[in-house]
Amino acid sequence: MFDLTGRHALVTGSTQGIGLALARGLAEHGAHVILNGRNATRLAAAIAQLQQEGLSVSGSCFDVADAQTAQAAIDAIEANGQPIDILINNAGMQFRAPLEEFPIERWEQLMQLNVSSIFYVSQAAAKHMLARGKGKIINIASVQSELARPGIAPYVTSKGAVRNLTRGMATDWARKGLQVNGIAPGYFRTEMTEQLVNDADFSAWLAKRTPAGRWGDVHELVGAAVFLSSDASSFVNGQLIHVDGGMTISV
């Protein structure tokens, strides 16, 4: 039920961190994974790394936050004989600042990448999936889809939107054969969180706030991604799986 052999998966923002871990995990379970990023050099390095591990991967370098570019890239992947069976919308960004001083241009950039890109890429991929009557879309949300912290109100807003966009996609497309779900990571050690990881006070707070008592490791997200990508989740739709060490269920 969890075998992904013969399936093609596109993982956006997969040159590092969570995206790279998910790409590796899906490939280890049999999928051919198409990595994505805007930086061609980083993308080539990530592809080479996974290929050296004996995994079946390729790449597509495009900006997910540009609607026309995303549509053209998806169409090109499909035309190249790689039907996208699984789409993981992972690309995203974070920017921290007091809300009253948050730069307008950063707000717009954050919304474009964290929310609009999911709509652009999913719509482009879904057109092909719907024609085949099947497909899996997984949106990477966050514990901040449910919780807020000081200094990240726009990020919280964007991840709340991802939660409800996931529900909306499932409502529209489930009857047409697609399963659309989300994964909500807690606090994981990645390049994006390196500054927080190195902050002793924050890490101490996190250990006390999280029932598991620690940061997550990115490989711990793979199980949820494989489940939602596989036949095991054939009747799962519109759900958000929290992989957060218990943070969202504890006060």
7-65 per-position pLDDT tens digit: 999 999 999 999 999 999 999 999 999 999 999 999 999 999 999 999 999 999 999 99
| pLDDT band (50, 70, 90) for residue 251 | confident
Range 179-205 average pLDDT: 94
Question: Cβ–Cβ contacts within 10 Å for residue 249, how many?
Answer: 9
| pLDDT band (50, 70, 90) for residue 192 | confident
Per-residue burial over 180-203, b if 16 or more Cβ lie within 10 Å, else e, is bbbbbbbbbbbeebeebbeeeeeb
pLDDT value at 191 more than 90: no
103-145 per-position pLDDT tens digit: 999 999 999 999 999 999 999 999 999 999 999 999 999 999 9
Alpha-carbon gap, residue 7 to 193, rounded angstroms: 31
Q: How many CA atoms lie within 13 A of 195 on its CB side?
A: 4
User: pTM of this prediction?
Assistant: 0.96
pLDDT value at 216 more than 90: yes
Query: The CATH number of 8-242 is which of 3.30.70.260, 3.40.50.720, 3.90.1170.50, 3.30.1280.10?
Result: 3.40.50.720
Range 196-210 average pLDDT: 95
Q: Residue ranges of the domains in the chain?
A: 8-242
Range 148-155 average pLDDT: 94
For every residue of 204-240, DSSP letters joined together read HHHHHHSTT-SPBPGGGGHHHHHHHHSGGGTT--S-E
Range 69-98 average pLDDT: 97
Indicate which residues carry an active-site annotation: 155
CB 210 within 8 A of CB 154: no
Alpha-carbon gap, residue 76 to 8, rounded angstroms: 14
Helices 40-52/17-28 angle, 10° precision: 40
pLDDT value at 168 more than 90: yes
Alpha-carbon gap, residue 9 to 230, rounded angstroms: 11
**DSSP code at position 64:** T
Residues whose CB falls within 8 Å of the CB of residue 104, separated by 6 or more in sequence, listed in order: none
Alpha-carbon gap, residue 117 to 194, rounded angstroms: 24
Range 3-7 average pLDDT: 98
